[in-house]
Copies of this chain bind each other. A is one copy, B any other.
Amino acid sequence: MDSNSIKKLLESVSNKDISVADALNQLKDFEYKELGYAKIDNHRSLRTGYPEVIFCQGKTPEHVAGIFKYMNTHDTNILGTRATKEDYQEVIKDCPEAEYNPLARTITLKKKTEEKTQTHIAIITAGTSDIPVAEEAAITAEIFGNDVQRYYDVGVAGIHRLYDKMSEIKKARVLVVVAGMEGALPSIVGGMVDKPVIAVPTSVGYGAAFNGLAALLGMLTSCASGISVVNIDNGFGAGYLASMINKL
A145 proximal to B (CB < 8 A): no
- Say whether A223 contacts B126, CB under 8 Å: yes
Is A13's beta carbon under 8 Å from chain B? no
Question: What residues on B are CB-neighbors of A244 within 8 Å?
Answer: 194-196, 226
Residues of A5-58 at the interface with B, using a CB-CB cut-off of 8 Å, are: 31-32, 36-39, 41, 43-44, 47-50, 52-53, 55, 57-58
Question: Chain B interface: which of A69-77, A86-94, A107-115, A203-211?
Answer: A203-211
Is A129 on the interface with B (CB-CB < 8 A)? yes
The total of chain A residues at the interface (CB under 8 A) is: 94
A214 contacts the other chain (Cβ, under 8 Å)? yes
Residues of B within 8 A of A160 (CB): 31-32, 43
Q: How many chain copies?
A: 8
A36, A53, A219: residue with the most chain B Cβ atoms closer than 10 Å: A219
* Chain A residues within 8 Å of B, Cβ to Cβ: 31-32, 36-39, 41, 43-44, 47-50, 52-53, 55, 57-59, 63, 82, 126-129, 131, 152-161, 164, 173-174, 181-184, 187-188, 190-196, 198, 201, 203-234, 236-238, 240-241, 244-245, 248
Chain A to chain B contacts (Cβ below 8 Å), 21 pairs: A31-B160, A31-B161, A32-B160, A36-B152, A39-B152, A48-B192, A181-B221, A182-B218, A182-B219, A182-B222, A183-B218, A195-B244, A201-B207, A206-B234, A207-B232, A207-B233, A208-B221, A208-B231, A214-B217, A225-B237, A248-B248
